[in-house]
Chains A and B, each alone.
Chain A
Amino acid sequence: MAKGETKLIDEKGNRRDGRKWDQLRPIKLQVGLVKNADGSAYIEWGKNKIMAAVYGPKEVHPKHQVLADRALLRCRYHMAPFSVDERKNPAPSRREIEISKVMREALEPAVVVGDYPRTAIEVWVEVLQSDGGSRVAGITAASLALADAGINMRDLVVGCSCGMINGQVVADLDDTEDKEGDGDMPVAILPNLGLVSLLQVDGVYSREKFQKAFELAIQKGKEVYGMQREALNARFFGGEAKVTQVEEVAE
């Protein structure tokens, strides 16, 4: 069957996995699992299983890449050979190089790179099992890993993708919906600053549908941001973040 012809959503509005049009897949987030890294996070988003690790700030090698006034942010998005049905060649593909680049550009506005001149901050995102929307899941995990590493950040970065299947706007496409559907739109946002740091689109949208998909992605991204907060609070404060009043002590 050609692209766009598979029935991905039935008359009752149920998708293949039983979700409604605006429902996310189940998400699980955990912070601080890689002991050797300065910061790390793990995300399960639907069938995606992704590990993110941050190293640095550290010295830049090779030396000619040093930036005198800010940190060099390096990103690597990589899919494990066993992450897909057919073995993937472990060498970085065209697609992975592109995702590494957009991921770096999505994270950079949040990182206060000016606080770490002449250093490198490395972000490694390893996809252990892949489903649709792995770049936004990777960005979500990477920003948690950066926060865990204790690098100054203006805000967390959270991603969510939306798209179109059978001509209808839906949230959070999985692998089949991505491949058989009419288009995918990954969006990354800085929720507190109200900025969009990643917007990619494929497929043909009408003005109204584009607007609807974009707004849905932002709305769903804020939902994921809640889970991100929970994961970070669980790691450092053992649950909900608290506000307490304490007596002033004379030093």
Chain B
Amino acid sequence: MIERRQVIPGDVIAKGNYRYGSYIEKRGEEYVALRVGLAEVGRDGIKLNPLTGPYLPRADDEVIGKVVDVNGFGWVVDINSCFDGFLPASFVFGREFSPSTHDLSSKFKVGDIIGTRIESFERSRDPQLSIRGQGYGKIDSGEIVKISPTKVPRLIGKRGAIINLISERTGAEVKVGQNGVVVVSGTPEGITKAVKAIRTVEEEAHAADLTTKVEGVLGGE
């Protein structure tokens, strides 16, 4: 059994000895919530899922960002956070990169939307991005929808249940960044329907029967 508790900052979630995740502070014997959210006390530890808040980068997060600046060594990317991401040119062109022979603007221009992964992030420096791996790089078409970053796990659903449902029913491709940026591409009707479904997820994120609600919006097929 898990105990699920609705908490606000300063609330004691549990007493005793547990493993605990982010947004929780240990004060002596007590575990205190730092955010408004749903706390789960289980056998293997305490977790707090916040209901509101900004996106803070974490290593290995997949994010979608917009190129805001190009300099001699790489691209500055707005990743919908208080920190700008930096994509070094050497990660894109390889080790033989030199500012004199490679033209950075030929790869990504200011204003381009790119799917990237956070390579590393520590407190003292801005997050480093990378496009190594499958499915990263420039996103050419689609509609951008921004949702609250705290609701991204709900939009994806258990093992991608909700996101798969949306793309199956609308024929649209839905790319979700952990930073709350979503790109929907497909037919105009498909996009409209998918965006509506995404908005529903955002508004009804707290609902227990979210899948049924999304199915309602998408209509039967």
Contact = CB atoms under 8 A, between A and B. Distances in A.
Interface of A: 38-39, 56-59, 68-69, 110, 112, 116-119, 147-156, 190-193, 229, 232-233, 236-237, 241-248
Nearest to A240: B6
Given A110-B9, A152-B34, A241-B6, 12 more contacts: A116-B56, A147-B36, A149-B54, A150-B51, A153-B9, A229-B8, A236-B8, A241-B8, A243-B6, A245-B2, A246-B2, A248-B42
Contacts of A149: 52-54
B203 interface: no
Query: Which of B3, B12, B53 has most chain A Cβ within 10 Å?
Result: B53
B177 interface: no
Nearest to A38: B54
A122 to B, nearest CB: 12
A58 B35 contact: no
Contact of A151 (B3, B7, B42, B53): B53
A153 B23 CA distance: 9
B101 to A, nearest CB: 32
B9 A155 contact: yes
B5 interface: yes
Contacts of A117: 123-124
Interface residues of B, number: 32
A156 to B, nearest CB: 6
A192 B9 CA distance: 10
A147 B8 contact: yes
Contacts of B124: 68, 117
B82 interface: yes
A57 B32 CA distance: 22
A-B pairs with the 7 shortest C-beta distances?
A150-B53, A155-B10, A150-B52, A153-B9, A241-B6, A152-B34, A192-B10
Contacts of A193: 10
A247 B1 contact: yes
B19 interface: no
A174 B54 CA distance: 38
B184 to A, nearest CB: 23
Contact of B82 (A58, A150, A232, A246): A58
Contacts of A56: 54, 82
Contacts of B83: 118-119
B10 A153 contact: yes
A241 B10 CA distance: 14
B150 A150 contact: yes
B2 to A, nearest CB: 5
Contacts of B150: 150
A148 B10 contact: no
Contacts of B25: 112, 154
Contact of B4 (A59, A119, A232, A244): A244
Nearest to A58: B82
17 contacts: A58-B82, A59-B82, A68-B124, A117-B124, A147-B36, A153-B35, A156-B8, A156-B10, A190-B10, A229-B8, A236-B6, A241-B8, A243-B3, A245-B1, A245-B2, A246-B2, A248-B42
Nearest to A228: B8
B53 A147 contact: no
A154 B8 contact: no
Query: Which of A117, A152, A155, A229 has most chain B Cβ within 10 Å?
Result: A152
A128 B50 CA distance: 31
Nearest to A155: B10
A39 B82 contact: no
B1 A236 contact: no
A117 B34 CA distance: 17
A243 B4 contact: yes
A152 B36 contact: no
Contacts of A118: 83
A153 B24 CA distance: 10
